[in-house]
Amino acid sequence: MSEAQNRPSLLRLVLSWTFVGVPLVWGITQTVLKAWALFKK
């Protein structure tokens, strides 16, 4: 098998990062929304 065939597709890279990125971004958003109260008058 050539190196080119072994090289994972860009799609796999995007899917992997999306899989872990989505919950992380969701968690960060929840935290920021909560933290907003600190700066409200």
Q: How far is the CB of 34 from another protein (least distance, A)?
A: 4
Task: Give dist(CA 6, CA 2) in Å, integer.
Answer: 6
Q: How far is the CB of 41 from another protein (least distance, A)?
A: 10
Task: Give dist(CA 16, CA 23) in Å, integer.
Answer: 12
Interacting residues with another protein (CB under 8 A): 1, 3-4, 6-8, 12-13, 16-17, 19-20, 23-24, 26-28, 30-32, 34-38, 40
Q: How far is the CB of 35 from another protein (least distance, A)?
A: 4
Give me the amino acid identity at 5.
Answer: Q
